[in-house]
Amino acid sequence: MQIYRFWECRRENICGTEAYFKAGSNESPEHAAQLLKDKIDIFRRFNDPGVPDPTPKEVAELRCRLAGNKDYSVPICEEFVEQIDARNIVTRNRSGALVLNSEDHAFFDIDFDCLPPAGLWHKLQVILGKRPAQTPEERLFDIIRSQLNDSFPYTPARLYRTAKGFRLLLNISHDADSPETANIMRMFHCDRLYAELCSRQKCFRARLTPKPRRIGVTGASKFRFPYAEETVPAHKLWVEQYEKKSADFAVCRLVKSFGPEFRSPVIEYHDRMCNCSSPLPLA
């Protein structure tokens, strides 16, 4: 997981084409600015015929500086809001909502839209009256419960109801980009885009505050991170309005716990921020 406290961005003309560059650092804004300069240098030397090509050694050195000698992953370019611990960081996403980025708490969002169609045998039993018709919520819950009982009978898990489905927290040790995690996501019919982002960013993500559009708050698209200096006051005002409105909503609600008790400071933080113990409407 790559999340940085400081970001620098710049538009640069390369061979007659304007390109947008950004670079992040956890050291200082100055360090981010230097990394940005290095990134532009790499791009220019590969694409500008008037600049000598870099040697293989120079390319390797510049790439190491930009990647920080870490395994490749896509940096999460979002506002750094809070650090719970070294492996759990809260950011503000492009819509303005707060998001928990976790390397060691496996969250799986399972929406009704991802629900597989009922099989012919299931439909026939309903028609014959041998089993009751189910709502999408009841059917998805049964699928999740069945998978947990069959494949994870002794694994602690917490299942939350969301506005559009369920959020599953499973106590597993697999990394977000592992083949095992990919198999689990397919097993629970997780959204494919969410699965791809978890793999590329090497972390699980769980939204902590409502989607602004669901609570009637608009305008977040005007603010692109890293925020331009002239937009900071307006963005701060937008956040204040959004937080005031979002206090009347919950993101998820605990439905059931499976297996042994599963608690941690991260879970307590998640539950508190999501208002999951309140009767507030889900958004």
pLDDT tens digit sequence for 217-252? 988 888 888 888 899 999 999 999 999 999 999 999
pLDDT reading at 123 higher than 60: no
Q: Round to whole Å and give the CA distance between 266 and 264.
A: 5
Q: Are residues 160 and 35 in the same domain?
A: no
Q: Are residues 217 and 249 in the same domain?
A: yes
Q: Are residues 135 and 222 in the same domain?
A: yes
Q: Are residues 211 and 123 in the same domain?
A: yes
pLDDT for 191 equals 86
Residue 47, φ and ψ in degrees, nearest 5? -120, -15
**Mean pLDDT, rounded, of the chain:** 87
Which of helix, strand or coil describes residue 18?
Answer: strand
Q: Are residues 172 and 203 in the same domain?
A: yes
Q: Are residues 86 and 218 in the same domain?
A: yes
Q: Are 11 and 22 in contact (CB under 8 A)?
A: no
- CA 95 → CA 102, 111, 199, 239, distances in Å? 19, 19, 21, 11
Last residue within a domain, chosen from 67, 99, 118: 67
Q: Does any domain span residue 75?
A: no
Cis status of the peptide bond prior to 153, with omega within 30 of 0: no
Q: Does any domain span residue 150?
A: yes
Token output for 33: 């600015």
What mean pLDDT comes out for the span 107-124? 75
Show Cβ contacts of residue 73 under 8 Å, excluding neighbours closer than 6 positions.
Answer: 1, 2, 177, 200, 201, 202
Q: How many domains does the chain have?
A: 2
Q: Are residues 178 and 157 in the same domain?
A: yes
pLDDT for 71 equals 45
Show Cβ contacts of residue 271 under 8 Å, excluding neighbours closer than 6 positions.
Answer: 254, 277
Top mean pLDDT of 17-26, 30-39, 61-70, 149-158 is at 149-158
Give the range of the structural domain holding residue 205, as residue numbers without chain letter. 80-273
Q: Are residues 160 and 34 in the same domain?
A: no
Predicted confidence band of residue 69 (pLDDT cuts 50, 70, 90)? very low
Q: Are residues 49 and 152 in the same domain?
A: no
| DSSP symbols for 52-100 | PPPPHHHHHHHHHHHHTTPPP---B-SEEEEEEETTEEEEE-TTS-EEE
Q: Does any domain span residue 281?
A: no
Predicted confidence band of residue 45 (pLDDT cuts 50, 70, 90)? confident
Q: Are 133 and 124 in contact (CB under 8 A)?
A: no
Q: What is the pTM of this model?
A: 0.81
Q: How many CB atoms lie within 10 A of CB 25?
A: 19
Q: How many CB atoms lie within 10 A of CB 281?
A: 12
Q: Round to whole Å and give the CA distance between 88 and 55.
A: 38
Q: Are residues 56 and 103 in the same domain?
A: no
Q: Are 193 and 114 in contact (CB under 8 A)?
A: no
Q: Are residues 29 and 87 in the same domain?
A: no
pLDDT reading at 127 higher than 90: no
Which amino acid is it at 178?
S
Which of 16-20, 77-81, 256-260 shows the lowest per-residue confidence on average (mean pLDDT)? 16-20
pLDDT for 82 equals 95
Q: Does any domain span residue 72?
A: no
145-178, pLDDT tens digit by residue? 999 999 999 999 999 999 999 999 999 999 999 9
Q: Round to whole Å and give the CA distance between 197 and 182.
A: 11
Q: Are residues 134 and 201 in the same domain?
A: yes
CA atoms within a 13 Å half-sphere pointing along the CA-CB vector of 246 = 25
